[in-house]
Amino acid sequence: MASRSSTTEPEKALQTIDHERVAELAHRIYLARGAGDGHDLDDWLEAETHLQQQSRRPGRRALL
């Protein structure tokens, strides 16, 4: 009997996003925000969210 995967759709999307792409986009967000310190987690999460959304839209290109 085949085992059933417990991976959800958002987890699958996360698995397809490359760490380097997230890092580069987070850095771009940081620079666009004026390079102020203290928001690294916010920048990272915003970059992840953006790339996840882009990966779900066929025919659309991500910022990177």
Q: Residue 54: pLDDT band by 50, 70, 90 thresholds?
A: confident
Q: How do the domains of the chain map onto residue ranges?
A: 13-56
pLDDT mean over 10-24: 75
Q: Is the pLDDT of residue 52 over 80?
A: yes
Residues contacting residue 13 through CB under 8 Å, at least 6 positions apart: 52, 55, 56
How far the first Cα of the chain sits from its last, in Å, is 41
Contact at 8 Å (CB) between 46 and 26?
Answer: yes
**Mean pLDDT computed over every residue of the chain:** 80
pLDDT one-digit tens code per residue, 3-16: 455 666 655 555 56
